A = this chain, B = another copy of it.
């Protein structure tokens, strides 16, 4: 099973340590293909968003079902999120600090009304992916 995460920006070592802890746990269930996109340096925000969106769209693996993580997306409980993970070749997209052109994304998920830094969000996402697999496989996992 394979699962893709496309994310704008990189992780500092403190976040990377946590990300890798969950990545290792997830690896028993699925490979995570992490595609990092460098944040575009562009003072014009509208143009920056356009460029980053283009870079993201180019990187989406073929035949993949895509979910963009958005403040305006669908809210769900961990159990519902887990049910998505039954499908192979999903792609979760974490946009940059200015977001993306959302019109290109049909499926949007909202984890919270709160704004999180993208690095923390990546850890939140991979933890939730692990939680999802734990739920789907009846593995006891601490809250």
Contact = CB atoms under 8 A, between A and B. Distances in A.
A114 interface: yes
Given A14-B17, A14-B18, A97-B142, A76 B114 contact: yes
A124 B128 contact: no
Contact of A14 (B21, B78, B112, B118): B21
Nearest to A13: B17
A116 B97 CA distance: 23
Nearest to A141: B117
A100 to B, nearest CB: 13
A87 B101 CA distance: 38
A41 interface: no
* Identical copies of this chain, number: 2
Given A14-B21, A18-B15, A143-B97, A116 B120 contact: no
B142 A117 contact: yes
Contacts of A114: 76-78, 81, 111-112, 128, 131
17 contacts: A14-B17, A14-B18, A17-B17, A76-B114, A77-B113, A78-B114, A78-B115, A81-B114, A97-B142, A112-B112, A115-B131, A116-B124, A116-B143, A117-B142, A117-B143, A120-B123, A120-B127
Interface of A: 14-15, 17-18, 21, 75-78, 81, 97-98, 111-118, 120, 123-124, 127-128, 131, 142-143
